Chains A and B, each alone.
Chain A
Amino acid sequence: MKKFTQKVLEKYHHDKTRLMDILIAIQKEFGYVGSDAVEQIAQELSMSEVDVEQTLSFYHFFSMQPTGMYSIYLNTSAVSNMMGRTQVAAAFEKATGIKFGQVTPDGRIGLFETSCIGMNDQEPAAIINNRIFTKLTSFRVKEIVRDIKEGKPVTEMYTAGFGDGANRDDAVQSVVSNNIRKIGPILDPNYKVGEAIKKIIAMTPEQVIAMVKNSGIRGRGGAGFPTGLKWEFCHNAEGDRKYIFCNADEGEPGTFKDRVILTELPRLLFEGMVVAGYAVGAREGILYLRYEYMYLEEYLEKILSAAREKHYLGKDIMGKTGFDFDIRIQFGAGAYVCGEESALIESAEGKRGEPRDRPPFPVEKGYLEKPTVVNNVETLCSVVKVILKGAEWYRSFGTAESTGTKLLSISGDCRNPGVYEVAWGFTVNDILEMVGTANPVQAVQVGGPSGSLIGPNEFNRILGYEDLATGGSLIIFDENRDLLTDVVLNFMDFFIEESCGSCSTCRILPSVLRAKLLKILNARGVAQDIDDMLAWSRFLKASRCGLGQTAANPIVSTIKNFRHLYEAKIQTRKAYDTGFDLSRAVQEACEVTGRIPNI
């Protein structure tokens, strides 16, 4: 490990801000970053060991203990559960003889859980040594574990053909499916690389920004900040260097459309980054890619190399003197909060993914304290189309406030889960009709756990910034689902696990709320508990970032829209119940002393 670590440190020029890359390289090679490596890194980078561990212990895919020659990470998302995760998990435990969170005594297999891995349309899914396995069944699990015991490389463990489109590319070779169900102007495969660059280099950066502003496009990650304005702020900010980040950390459970873009249209995305770079005057672009999509690394690097060869990247791009721009990939290591732009920047600087306080905004002081634009994958792709076909054309799609189209990641109880590109302004009813549902729909989660869960009386609402703003995740639940257990509890667990732990509110309150929810689910709740949850949720608004501020949304939105589900579970005879259970409280003492409870 020592030699390898030394080499990695040299590769990244002993640069502290590249700590993520250093740790990722070691984790990938050995399956863990041991205390020896920590000591070595600390010494070489002139940091303390606790400081190295500060970053190391933050991310889900880093471990200080061995995670097994084969590390299996099974997705725990709500949809994964709905599609049979429980049986798959049981099959893994049975076949390996260990529980989740453990490694087999021979060090061969490690079994872990992980938050949504962006495969909601093909669950249950798992990551094994950075390769994706989808649509798992208990039978398939037995095959996989048998192969592992025989020592087969992961790439040889696939039994079916590769997925569709570029999933078959030599550099991908993955069983993942794109499931593109509806193509619009962004997903249109008839796109010629380089045309947009050719067009912008004949324009001034100001003209490019004006065009983007004129198109009315807003950030597609969910927050909806006007893209042109963001670019303008960054363009006008003082700074000898500026950066373009593409946020490809899509971690909101239920969203996977960026994965499909990265697979099918990476050139479009990279061209979008070049356009952004030209507009704001940046020379470096960084694609911040979630660790879960590591299986695309080789493929994306290949495309970047090809782009350099064709002068879409590099020095004097397409012959424009002085227009230099290149892109590197920065991997995350498993932290939902890094999808927040300032947390993403912190992470890219080798630190814990803790959001920053604003002001200053990243466009003034971002990556390495320099003006930085962070744009979503889909935003950058859309911009290329705006450049090619004009702002007028773009505005012809969607509504007045929400121009253009939106890629939706649709999953759950529907016949055709996958990616749909629709113009803004579709109602939820339109969408349900489009995807096809077998059973009556009880609820739709719009925008992942931080969004809201709505019932049929709101299915006539439209998708758009003026009504139901969404990053594009829609999860459908039919009448057979238990919303409180299958959805709300799962989402609360997600928020608890993914809090960065910095703000007191977001670190403590979600667990308190979860305990209340459990009290109600355990039939010990009273009416006051519902009121308490609503009242206490408000304190989360004081949290620094969107994760904390919305961490109670699963509870708040279901109390608002499905209050009857809570009311059906609370005790009507009692106004007060602490939930204390004497027989459970004495259980441990009876076990230790060998007594029969005589309470």
Chain B
Amino acid sequence: MSKPIVATTSLAGCFGCHMSVLDIDERILELIDLVDFDKSPVNDIKKFSRTCDIGLIEGGCCNSENVHVLKDFREHCKILVSVGECAIMGGLPAMRNGIPLRECLEEAYLNGPTVQNNKLKLIPNDPEIPILLDKVYPCHEIVKMDYHLPGCPPRADLIWEALIALVTGGEMKLPYEVVKFD
């Protein structure tokens, strides 16, 4: 029997959740025995090569590209997991949600104290750049997400337990100490 295939990505996140995966320490060897990785920054595979069993999503959606990547994951993964606060509720990037987008952009590119030499008063608008969304969206408000692992980042033990449960089909243990929002 072939091993379950895992894909991961970081949308509007800081890669902290990916770091937390590495925090499982020596269990990483066990993990490699248990699963194969497809599209993921871990192995730098850029495109899905097959249907995956589990997709781990870090980060929420702050721009159009995030939305496309997330939808791509939804199409290619049987199970999608929101990993971390940003995927679950937008996280720190979503702190801009309380400020009108125009104000955010103008502060960043026109009026902010760090703005220099923007004589043309331009807000970057190259067609190559992904377009910002009106707010940062939690992943489950874009596509269906099957599971959620809170934390900033989620504790390594939580990620480990979740992966093992998903791979083996066993019940997930949730001790008090592992479910935390920070």
Residues 68-102 of B at the A interface (beta carbon under 8 Å): 101-102
Query: What B residues does A592 contact at CB under 8 A?
Result: 101-102, 105-106, 123
Contact between A578 and B64, CB atoms less than 8 A apart: no
- Judged by a CB distance under 8 angstroms, whether B67 is at the interface is yes
Query: What A residues does B144 contact at CB under 8 A?
Result: 576, 578
Contact between B101 and A589, CB atoms less than 8 A apart: yes
Bound Cα distance A584, B101 (Å):
14
- Judged by a CB distance under 8 angstroms, whether A580 is at the interface is yes
Query: What B residues does A590 contact at CB under 8 A?
Result: 131
- Judged by a CB distance under 8 angstroms, whether A105 is at the interface is no
Query: What B residues does A580 contact at CB under 8 A?
Result: 67, 137, 141-143
**Nearest B residue (CB) for A594:** B125
B interface residue count range (under 10 / 10 to 19 / 20 to 34 / 35 or more): 20 to 34
Bound Cα distance A591, B142 (Å):
22
Query: What A residues does B42 contact at CB under 8 A?
Result: none
Contact between B134 and A595, CB atoms less than 8 A apart: no
Query: What B residues does A594 contact at CB under 8 A?
Result: 125
Query: What B residues does A43 contact at CB under 8 A?
Result: none
Option from A585, A591, A598 in Cβ contact (under 8 Å) with B133: A585
Bound Cα distance A594, B101 (Å):
14
Contact mask B126-147 → A, CB, 8 Å, 1/0? Answer: 0100011111010011111000
- Judged by a CB distance under 8 angstroms, whether A190 is at the interface is no
Option from B64, B101, B127 in Cβ contact (under 8 Å) with A582: B64
- Judged by a CB distance under 8 angstroms, whether A535 is at the interface is no
Give, as a whole number of angstroms, the nearest-CB distance from A598 to chain B: 6
Give, as a whole number of angstroms, the nearest-CB distance from B93 to chain A: 14
Contact between A598 and B127, CB atoms less than 8 A apart: yes
Contact between A578 and B143, CB atoms less than 8 A apart: yes
Q: How many residues of A contact B (CB 8 A)?
A: 20
Contact between A578 and B101, CB atoms less than 8 A apart: no
Give, as a whole number of angstroms, the nearest-CB distance from A218 to chain B: 48
**Nearest B residue (CB) for A590:** B131
- Judged by a CB distance under 8 angstroms, whether B124 is at the interface is yes
Q: Given A582-B67, A588-B102, A589-B101, decide whether A595 and B131 contact each other with a Cβ distance below 8 A.
A: yes
Contact between B131 and A589, CB atoms less than 8 A apart: yes
Contact mask B152-170 → A, CB, 8 Å, 1/0? Answer: 0000000000000000000
Query: What A residues does B133 contact at CB under 8 A?
Result: 585-586, 589
Give, as a whole number of angstroms, the nearest-CB distance from B25 to chain A: 36
Q: Given A592-B101, A592-B102, decide whether A585 and B134 contact each other with a Cβ distance below 8 A.
A: yes
Option from B106, B124, B131, B141 in Cβ contact (under 8 Å) with A578: B141
Can you show 14 pairs from A to B with CB atoms below 8 A apart? Answer: A578-B140, A578-B141, A578-B143, A580-B67, A585-B134, A585-B135, A586-B132, A587-B134, A589-B105, A592-B102, A592-B106, A593-B125, A595-B127, A599-B64
Q: Which 7 pairs, one residue from A and one from B, show the smallest C-beta to C-beta distance?
A: A593-B125, A589-B132, A585-B133, A586-B131, A588-B134, A576-B144, A592-B102
